[in-house]
Structure 1
Amino acid sequence: MLEVESLHKRFGQHVAVDNISFQVKKGDAFGLLGPNGAGKSTTLSMMTGLLIPNSGEVRLDGHRLKDEPKYLKQRMGLVPQSIALYENLTAEENLRFWGQIYGVTGAKLRDNLDWCLQVAGLTEHRKQLAKRFSGGMQRRLNIAVAMIHRPEILIMDEPTVGIDPQSRNHILETVKTLNREGMTVIYTSHYMEEVQYLCQRLAIMDNGELIAYGNLEDVRQLAGARSTITMQLSGEIGDLTRQLEHDMTFQNVQVEGDTLVFQAQNAAVAVSRAVSIIANQSCELQKIDVAQPNLESAFLHLTGRRLRDSVGEAGDQG
């Protein structure tokens, strides 16, 4: 359905997206996963015509974006990372405005508007000004606006950033339902658990490159049989990292504040050895968590570090 071929984008000397290619099938829930600054938002901007790539192209059902931009844009709905609403308009007025921009009018606009409000759980708030909404409600209205023209593909760029758990769950369930009903969804996030919950296929980006691509289970298995062990510590960690790195039992050792993370083929042996080493340090073990191979494990295996939640780099927020 949607083909991304050799997309490349640079800002000055900085390469934000480095010749990436992937395909999204009709009815897919496709995840684009990676840390802030990985190039996700830049990729989506090129896919939707908001940015022109330095090279490469995007095709929808064989139609090239650069040749037929209107054809593609009418079939896509974009939920941007930043809220894109008119705060002094009501929820209903925002939807009506954006529907008319897409050329939706009359009875179709009224029907679409009612449907969007219902999906977003905002029917009872349709006459309320957007600026009176909570952050979570604004996010939900942002999604409703992206669907006002009933797109074939819904593209969502970090739609749950900075909102409360209740709104986050509502958005995730909404996306799940829309996809189950046949809408193709492209979902970007740096939250592993969201992509694992929503998506059957995915691509992982880091530093502008595609480092993994395929079915969820195939990507998850890139970590092999390695478990990921997380240990919460207190006190002085000292040279603990160095000691663990010199022991072949542990792979991808990291210390983040008071948290120790590593991978191991045999979790039981690794935990036992780590506890023994920690006992000779000026710190105490507070908590242990052992996770079987998952997307976090795969990312750690591929990059040597955990999926970070860092500040986006110039030219790209994600």
Structure 2
Amino acid sequence: MESTAVRVEGLTKSFGATRALDGVDLEIPAGTILGLLGPNGAGKTTTVRILTTLLRPDAGRAVVAGYDVVEQPQQVRRAIGLSGQYAAVDENLTGSENLYLVGRLYGLSRKAARSRATELLARFKLTEAAERPSKTYSGGMRRRLDLAGALVSAPQVVVLDEPTTGLDPRGRLDTWSMISELVADGATVLLTTQYLEEADQLADRIVVIDRGRAIAAGTADELKSQVGGERLQVVVSRPEHLPFAQQVLADVGIAEPQVEEHVRRVAAPVSGGTKALVEAVRRFDAEGVELLDVGLQRPTLDDVFLQLTGHLAEEETVEEPKKGRRSRRKDKNEGESA
């Protein structure tokens, strides 16, 4: 496999008057995780559909595992695994039968498909439920089964489209662990998510996409550095101490403090973090103001996203429009021609 597993250049796609993608560029080195971060409707799923040959771009070029997604779709499909936003499992089949079916569709022999199904069921902690219909599985179990299905062919590139949507915290942590294991085994992962913490935890590099455009790229630390330095935050024990706290942080900070009266919290960006912290604590002690909490915080990806886009990551932007019968027929024909 080439050193670059996925390369996207100038990708555009419109649905009627709505431009879902407007010249997106991406590059994913082999054996790494790229987090494609953005709110609902930003263009993440449209990008995934193009990279997995389910949709043709209007312009631009995309190469996955060395194959052009438009000119060599069959080769791309053999080289990738896909887990979409919703678990794509047959609820009337058992967990074992679901994975066996996928293996046979990929061209594995009966013996190899059964062996691979058994291996993946064990890896994803589904052995005890292997012979139960998947309709009896919990949401987290169906998600794990779907992720296992994406790995049946041992793909070079794994595309995960918001893989933890709808999972509880335990299921999300388990999925994060599984994604990390994929990369440790040599796979390359494209992870789309609107969960900033998820991108922070998993991605080697992050591309922020908003309204169909890639507006920033870098490591989590590089993106956070765009916001500025550290923030000093204090929580006072008594509401009447808020004005004093605001004055102290205005003196030691480099911008106007933010006050949250309902939780008695005051925060402000500072330079020379530790020095500012010590000076603030000294002044609070001298005045006899009790602090319930005090500390320095680095910017979060939430701060990055808010500064870059002007809105929170969970807010929706332009949705991909609902398609009528004519549009659906066109996409079906495109898929067949691919």
How far residue 75 of structure 1 moved from its aligned partner, in angstroms, is 0.8
Provide the residue aligned with 1:70 in structure 2: 74
1:159 counterpart (153, 159, 163): 163
Distance in 2, matches of 1:18 and 1:228, equals 39
Provide the residue aligned with 2:301 in structure 1: 295
Provide the residue aligned with 2:114 in structure 1: 110
Residue 39 of structure 1 contacts residue 316 of structure 1 at CA under 8 Å; is this kept in 2? no
The residue identity in structure 2 corresponding to 1:196 is D
Residue 41 of structure 1 contacts residue 316 of structure 1 at CA under 8 Å; is this kept in 2? no
Structure 1: gaps of 5 or more residues? 232-247, 273-285
Q: Rate the CA distance shift 1:65–1:226 in 2: closer, same or farther, 3 A.
A: same
DSSP 3-state at the match of 1:249: coil
Q: Deviations over 1:177-209 (max 9, x none)?
A: 121121111111111111111111121111111
How far residue 60 of structure 1 moved from its aligned partner, in angstroms, is 2.7
Provide the residue aligned with 1:309 in structure 2: 314
1:24 counterpart (8, 28, 48): 28
Q: Rate the CA distance shift 1:48–1:192 in 2: closer, same or farther, 3 A.
A: same
Provide the residue aligned with 1:88 in structure 2: 92
| Greater mean alpha carbon deviation, residues 105-114 or residues 66-75 | 105-114
The residue identity in structure 1 corresponding to 2:167 is I
Q: Rate the CA distance shift 1:175–1:254 in 2: closer, same or farther, 3 A.
A: farther
**What is the aligned residue count?**
292
Provide the residue aligned with 1:282 in structure 2: none
Q: Rate the CA distance shift 1:32–1:229 in 2: closer, same or farther, 3 A.
A: farther
2:11 counterpart (7, 13, 16): 7
TM-score normalised by the chain length of structure 2: 0.75
| Greater mean alpha carbon deviation, residues 291-300 or residues 163-172 | 291-300
Provide the residue aligned with 2:153 in structure 1: 149
Q: Rate the CA distance shift 1:54–1:254 in 2: closer, same or farther, 3 A.
A: farther
How far residue 8 of structure 1 moved from its aligned partner, in angstroms, is 0.7
What is the correspondence of 1:186-225 to structure 2 with a 5 Å cutoff?
A: 186-225=190-229
Provide the residue aligned with 1:138 in structure 2: 142
DSSP 3-state at the match of 2:226: helix
The residue identity in structure 1 corresponding to 2:112 is K
Residue 21 of structure 2 contacts residue 212 of structure 2 at CA under 8 Å; is this kept in 1? yes
Distance in 2, matches of 1:83 and 1:290, equals 40
Distance in 1, matches of 2:189 and 2:207, equals 13
How far residue 176 of structure 1 moved from its aligned partner, in angstroms, is 1.0
The residue identity in structure 1 corresponding to 2:122 is Q
Distance in 1, matches of 2:217 and 2:98, equals 37
DSSP 3-state at the match of 1:31: strand
Distance in 1, matches of 2:217 and 2:174, equals 28
How far residue 69 of structure 1 moved from its aligned partner, in angstroms, is 0.4
The residue identity in structure 1 corresponding to 2:315 is S
Residue 224 of structure 2 contacts residue 301 of structure 2 at CA under 8 Å; is this kept in 1? yes
| Structure number with higher helix proportion | 2
Identity of aligned residues (%): 33
Distance in 2, matches of 1:226 and 1:289, equals 10
Distance in 1, matches of 2:174 and 2:97, equals 23
Report the aligned-residue RMSD: 3.4
Distance in 1, matches of 2:46 and 2:259, equals 29
* Structure of larger gyration radius: 2
Residue 37 of structure 1 contacts residue 316 of structure 1 at CA under 8 Å; is this kept in 2? no
Structure 2: gaps of 5 or more residues? 236-253, 281-291, 323-338
